[in-house]
Chains A and B, each alone.
Chain A
Amino acid sequence: MTEPVLSVRNLTKRFGGLTAVRNVSWDVFPGEVVALLGDNGAGKSTLIKCISGVHQAEEGEIYFEGKLTRFARPIDARSEGIETIYQDLALANNLDVPANIFLGREVKLRYFGGLIQTLNDRKMLDESARALDTLQIHFPTLTQPIESLSGGQRQAVAIARAVYWDARLMIMDEPTNNLGVPEQQKVLELIRRLRDQGVPVILITHTLPDVFAVADRLMVMHRGRKVTEKKVKETGVEELVQYMVGARDDFREPVAAAV
């Protein structure tokens, strides 16, 4: 079996008296889409935030590409190639596509030994067009503020940005929320394309049809614990719902079983 890209070992995260994530171990392998499921408050967001550097776990380890990591801030995780796309997308809607893809990492022209630096808009436009091309995303024009784009198109810009900057693990938080049905299909297609290019994707979602449409494997959390980990092919909607509400539990502790 290949080495996992991401390996979470016995992770526990507490907020005061509340244990948000309890002793979770989890692997994500290259070229797969893994869905992370669970009801509100199940601990999926907290787990993801531990991986992306927003929170720091009390116990357990996270290995990324075989190396033990401890991200103090989200920017550290991003510079290692873990890219998280949240629902609010973190795009500047008043700027155009290239400006967003290169936001904070603008390409510059240098004059007088770097004394005067201007934006190399031409280069950024060309590179953006190429980045979108590799994902087969086509916009009629890239040089309009992205507020005129649809939700799905902006999602595509956010994904293209992450890919362009060499994301080696993509975490997507409810990517199809607030989208119309055709747009949902397009975003799911984009996720498949990412996987085909070898970028593993963690998909946090409530939307079970999405899971069956794109995910290869899934993990369900309930009250901070991992309750199952399965191949998507080996399960169905009904069974998943039972896991999500806590009616089924593959790892139930004997004590808990007696209650």
Chain B
Amino acid sequence: MAFTGSKAATGLSGRMAKLSPGKRLLIRISDLWAWLFLALMIAFFVVSVPVFSSASFVSVRNSQNILIAITPVVLLGLGQTFVIISAGIDLSVGWVMSLASVLSALAIRDSYNIGAPIWLAVILGLLAAIFGGGLVGFLNGTIIAKLKVPAFIVTLGSSFIVRGVALLMAENTTVIGLPDIRAYGNESLFYYVRGGGQYGGFYFFQKPDLPTDMLRQLDRILPWPVVLTAVVVGIVMFLLHRTQFGRHTYAIGGNPEAARRAGIPVDRRIIAIYALSAATAGIGGFLSTLQYTAGSAVIGDPLLLSSIAAVIIGGVSLFGGAGTVMGTVIGSLIIAVLTTGLVMLNVQAFWQFIVVGAVVIIAVLIDQSRELIVGNSRSGVTE
């Protein structure tokens, strides 16, 4: 028996064969729209920024600034990608990031004060951030999976609790008195000195010793926070797309009952997903501590919604079951490029919010229109 009869046209390709060329083009575009949108936006700013100011949008410095700006959003978004693919939501990541910033600052300060070398203090800070954050996620996931409380409620509640704990531990809003860790937070993998001459050229690892009047010619390429974030992106991408854990995350988001019947330990996976979400947020907190040489109990709060926006723009379905890590990175880039570009155009800051909000809604509309064009395949219609 073949299910491939001419009447029973199969698969998306089968359905698409029946569509007009115009609609087919539309679907191809909607597959890649985030990339296209990013490219168009960059093109727009490349052309428009020089018109309104003396700066150029495409420069090493500006690209590095954008990369640094997106690291916290990407890190919060990475774990959130897993959570939303599993058809959940994690509203606690912003405050988990704050808590992790405080925890890592305390770990770095106190271990340094009792004699640990500075590199060890920094590693302890990273571990404190990952495990402190991860513990919150573990508790979130346990309550969601075992006690069947909706994720929205659990993570909303825990974000208040975490906020209180972070402020209590910071005793104020900021943990200060850290040793000099700027080398970890602000230095880079490469340096480039423009303009040639005695100092011109590339430097690896080692920051060149420049006279102060030449500092403007120094470009930092791939600052450490960006490198660490890229490593985390790589690990998470591997987890989601290449491992059983990732496959199960999609299955749980697509049909939790099917996952359960197939013998997948759904509860354990959900706990791991929320722990991962909080752990990546924790790394974000650690990086902010490095960058500011201080632990801030409020640093993550404004980033929660940006990170969810990045995930949505990147094509992760809020209904669960669909999305990619790369999409979330692109989504973060879109927000950062948009924000930076508008600033360079001297557009008032409020407009950034309005534009980002519009992009989020457009992203979801494009996703839905795709469903409409291809046909309502979710309901499982027959041919």
Within the complex, the shortest CB–CB distance from A178 to chain B, in Å, comes to 7
- How far does the alpha carbon of A125 sit from the alpha carbon of B5 in the complex, in Å? 23
A137 lies within 8 A of B257 (CB): no
A91 lies within 8 A of B3 (CB): no
- How far does the alpha carbon of A149 sit from the alpha carbon of B13 in the complex, in Å? 10
Known: A94-B254, A103-B258, A140-B11. A180 touches B383 (CB 8 A): yes
What residues of B have a CB within 8 angstroms of the CB of A152 in the complex? Answer: 3, 8, 382
Partner of A150, one of B8, B250, B261, B264: B8
Partner of A144, one of B3, B13, B255: B13
What residues of B have a CB within 8 angstroms of the CB of A108 in the complex? Answer: 244
What residues of B have a CB within 8 angstroms of the CB of A178 in the complex? Answer: 382
B14 lies within 8 A of A93 (CB): no
Number of interface residues of A (CB under 8 A): 45
- How far does the alpha carbon of A90 sit from the alpha carbon of B377 in the complex, in Å? 17
The binding surface of chain A is classed by DSSP as loop
- Cβ < 8 Å to A, chain B residues 62-115: none
- How far does the alpha carbon of A75 sit from the alpha carbon of B238 in the complex, in Å? 30
Within the complex, the shortest CB–CB distance from A97 to chain B, in Å, comes to 10
B12 lies within 8 A of A94 (CB): no
A95 at the interface (CB under 8 A from B): yes
A148 lies within 8 A of B3 (CB): no
Known: A92-B321, A103-B258, A148-B377. A140 touches B1 (CB 8 A): no
Partner of B247, one of A119, A148, A179, A189: A119
What residues of B have a CB within 8 angstroms of the CB of A105 in the complex? Answer: 262-263
Known: A93-B380, A144-B11. A104 touches B263 (CB 8 A): yes
B251 at the interface (CB under 8 A from A): yes
Known: A119-B242, A139-B4. A94 touches B250 (CB 8 A): yes
Known: A118-B242, A183-B382. A141 touches B2 (CB 8 A): no
What residues of A have a CB within 8 angstroms of the CB of B264 in the complex? Answer: 103-104
Number of interface residues of B (CB under 8 A): 40
A119 lies within 8 A of B243 (CB): yes
- How far does the alpha carbon of A94 sit from the alpha carbon of B377 in the complex, in Å? 11
A206 at the interface (CB under 8 A from B): no
A130 at the interface (CB under 8 A from B): no
B7 at the interface (CB under 8 A from A): yes
A99 lies within 8 A of B257 (CB): no
B257 lies within 8 A of A88 (CB): yes
What residues of A have a CB within 8 angstroms of the CB of B258 in the complex? Answer: 89-92, 103
A201 at the interface (CB under 8 A from B): no
- How far does the alpha carbon of A141 sit from the alpha carbon of B14 in the complex, in Å? 10
A140 lies within 8 A of B10 (CB): yes
Map CB proximity to A onto B229-263 as digits: 1 under 8 Å, 0 otherwise.
00000000010001110011011011101110111
B12 lies within 8 A of A144 (CB): yes
B15 at the interface (CB under 8 A from A): yes
- How far does the alpha carbon of A180 sit from the alpha carbon of B262 in the complex, in Å? 28
Question: Which A residue's beta carbon lies closest to that of B262?
Answer: A104
A92 lies within 8 A of B254 (CB): yes
Within the complex, the shortest CB–CB distance from A49 to chain B, in Å, comes to 14
Within the complex, the shortest CB–CB distance from A170 to chain B, in Å, comes to 15
Known: A75-B263, A104-B263. A154 touches B251 (CB 8 A): no
- Cβ < 8 Å to B, chain A residues 104-118: 104-106, 108, 117-118
What residues of A have a CB within 8 angstroms of the CB of B247 in the complex? Answer: 95, 99, 106, 119
- How far does the alpha carbon of A91 sit from the alpha carbon of B247 in the complex, in Å? 13
Question: Which B residue's beta carbon lies closest to that of A118?
Answer: B242
- Cβ < 8 Å to B, chain A residues 125-168: 136-141, 144-145, 147-154, 156
Question: Which A residue's beta carbon lies closest to that of B3?
Answer: A153
A150 lies within 8 A of B251 (CB): no
Known: A118-B242, A144-B11. A103 touches B262 (CB 8 A): yes
Question: Which A residue's beta carbon lies closest to that of B378?
Answer: A147
A183 lies within 8 A of B262 (CB): no
B130 at the interface (CB under 8 A from A): no
Known: A92-B255, A105-B262, A178-B382. A140 touches B321 (CB 8 A): no
A31 at the interface (CB under 8 A from B): no
A186 at the interface (CB under 8 A from B): yes
B4 lies within 8 A of A140 (CB): yes
Known: A95-B250, A139-B3. A153 touches B380 (CB 8 A): no
A137 lies within 8 A of B3 (CB): yes
A-B contacts, 20 of them at CB < 8 A, read: A92-B321, A93-B255, A93-B321, A93-B380, A94-B253, A94-B255, A95-B247, A95-B250, A103-B258, A104-B251, A118-B242, A137-B2, A140-B14, A149-B10, A151-B380, A151-B381, A152-B8, A152-B382, A179-B382, A183-B383
Interface contacts beyond A92-B250, A104-B262, A180-B382: sample of 14 additional A-B pairs, CB < 8 Å, sorted by A: A74-B261, A91-B255, A91-B258, A92-B255, A92-B321, A94-B254, A104-B259, A104-B263, A139-B11, A141-B11, A148-B10, A150-B382, A152-B3, A156-B3
- Give me the interface of B with A, judged by CB distance under 8 Å: 1-5, 7-8, 10-15, 238, 242-244, 247-248, 250-251, 253-255, 257-259, 261-264, 321-322, 374, 377-378, 380-383
